[in-house]
A and B are shown apart, each in its own frame.
Chain A
Amino acid sequence: MNLQGLLTVLVDGLAYGMLLFLFSIGLSITLGLMRFVNLAHGAFAMCGGYLMVVLAGRLGLPFLLALPIAFAGTGLIGIVLERTLITHVYRKSELQHVLFSIGLAFVAGAIANILFGPQQQPIPLPGWAEARVNLPGTWTTGYRIFVTASGAVALLLLLALFQRTLFGARVRAAVDLRGTAESIGIDVSRLFALTFGLGAACAGLGGALAVGFLGLDPSFPLKYLVIVLMVVAIGGPGSILGSFVAALFLGTVDALFKYYLPATGSFVIYALLVASMIFLPNGLTRWRRG
């Protein structure tokens, strides 16, 4: 048993899992809390990525300054889209959600193609991101540490927001009994717009961080859709902690199988998905009673 190899693979898998968590958490929120099937979710991640390319790449802003702008900018775009388009679709059937949002994803890809062209986008990473960081028994890059830390911080903030604040309590109330929530003076449509924007912003942050190691082109919204849906399905829609556990689990299990049994390739995680759909149809944990 090679301990160093195992640790290295685990640390890398962890960073990848954190990225998956950031990608998928917004979808988990909109799907689980707002019951809106948003297959255009990847478009928000792509939007964050392109914002990063423009801000850090073309305008030369520092990486750490560009990142929060990409987060907030994507969130704003999310809110505008929610107010103008998506709000009309909530009451429609789920099939219409799917058709509408997949169309939106294609439109987003086409717009990115017109604005930025079909090629891969370069992004300059700061020196600390490329630097080697020694850990006990292994090492990784500064960037992977940063991605892992960002995921952990996002998890804590979101958990606190939804479970410890008035905003979170209102969202949960509005989801469970919309009519009652409105009758006691909660502005549900504004609340939903903010929640949707928050989900989009998280995806934007994930996308902005992804450019550094996954690359970015206009096919991004659909390329990562499957893995994001897997995270949400295994984690349980609406469960922040569930998505977190599922994303880390997929990231590390995938890495471990590729390391020890490369011939199984990416097959294992799909088998896991099938197994979880059969034995845990509601996902790993349910934060709300479904």
Chain B
Amino acid sequence: MHTQDIAPSSRRRQALRIGFAAAAAALGLSSAPAQAATDLVVGVILPLSGTFADQGAHYETGMRLYQEMHGTQAAGRNIKLVIKDDQGPGSGDLARRLTQELIARDKAELIVGYSFTPNAMAAAGILTQAKTPGIIVNAMTSVLTEKSPYFTRASVTMPMIAYTQGKWAASQGRKTAYVIVSDYGPGIDAETWFIKGFEAGGGRIVGKDRTPLAATEYGPFLQRAIEAKPEVLFGFNPGGDVSIAFMKQAGARLKGTGIQLMVTGDVVDENLLPAMGDAADGVISALHYQADIDNAANKAFLKAFQAKFGADKLPSYRVVQGYDSMALIHAALGKTGGKTSDEFMEAIKGIRIDSPRGPISIDPATREIVENIYIRRGTMVNGVAVNKSIATTEAVKDPAK
């Protein structure tokens, strides 16, 4: 009895619901043309939960900060961010699905995101099919931009950093180096390109080791390096606790040996420095951003950042990458008059902007970023090491292309 009572009323309710839906759809349709002329959805895919949530928050901060400083209007279009969480590396399938959803369901015309290479790799095919430009916010593997003609990059490639650093080390009269990298894609990239740069400058490699990815005990490797008596020890590892363990042990072991420790800039990321203590003192690193860069764009950027987060806070390179992703979008839309897809990709080739990290441009031939690489030295200030820039290599192109 009961079911019979309920059925008609629920059917009635369903009919009502359909009626509302139809009415809403009609309303939506009528307003759609007007909206499409103004709104532009930028789909954003970042790691926002799990171990790498910290990184994702930095890119998002940069993107929001750009909008707060420069507004959301570009070439008559109102830019809206729709942000999704791909949970970090090893979730290529999720990154791919989110890309598809953003394009198909949220009508995203541009995608910004991919902190990790596998996630960008997985999404490349979708971007090509949908002719949707994708701005890589971080993933540093050189080959990525060749995986889709709709990819460009707002970060840097590992070869750009490692090659520049190797060459600089040799130019400082260092003759011999030992290389210790974590045994995975970016580590092997760092090893290859540091060696190329160092040898191109006339240096010689006296030994190299690859360490397990999650290793936190480096004593044996450091001992091997010390016995090889190099002038420079170059290290790369994936950040987090692994890099803290490496830096702490290297700091203690290398003291008094006269061996200069060099690492890529992400190993001595600003948010890891407090945990490294004075182990980061005197360590030379290379990176594409440095909070103490002296230019107008960086001054304005720092001022806005510190007004929001506190005068003692410094933005990481990841914040700048998020910020510049938005800057690239605004600049390219300015050239296309608000058009996206193929026109956007044409416009972004050869584009130049004054970023907080100095002038950056997109190489028209490869769609790869061209930018300065800064050599920095760790210096102790009030008990915490701070990376101070000591040399600049201007307009570095990806040497792997």
Contacts and interface: CB of A to CB of B under 8 A. Distances in A.
A5 B227 contact: yes
Interface in A217-262: 217-219, 223, 254-256, 258-259, 262
Interface residues of B, number: 38
Interface stretch (B38-46, B76-84, B120-128, B209-217): B209-217
Nearest to A265: B212
Contact of B51 (A118, A123, A124, A212): A118
B252 A130 contact: yes
B350 interface: no
B275 A258 contact: no
A117 interface: yes
Contact of B245 (A13, A113, A130, A213): A213
A258 B220 contact: yes
A214 B212 contact: no
Contacts of A120: 240-241, 244, 271-272, 275
A121 B275 contact: yes
B217 A255 contact: yes
A215 B241 contact: yes
Contacts of B276: 122
A9 B220 contact: yes
A266 interface: yes
B259 to A, nearest CB: 15
Contact of B223 (A8, A118, A212, A265): A8
A91 interface: no
B271 A122 contact: no
Contact of A259 (B212, B223, B242, B277): B223
A254 B219 CA distance: 11
Nearest to B278: A130
Contacts of B220: 9, 12-13, 255-256, 258-259, 262
Interface of A: 2, 5, 8-9, 12-13, 16, 113, 117-125, 130, 132, 141, 212-219, 223, 254-256, 258-259, 262, 265-266
Interface of B: 50-54, 183, 209-212, 214-217, 219-221, 223-224, 227, 240-242, 244-245, 248-249, 252, 255-256, 271-272, 274-278, 383
Given A122-B276, A255-B220, 14 more contacts: A118-B54, A119-B54, A120-B240, A120-B244, A122-B275, A122-B277, A125-B277, A130-B252, A130-B277, A213-B216, A213-B245, A223-B214, A223-B241, A265-B183
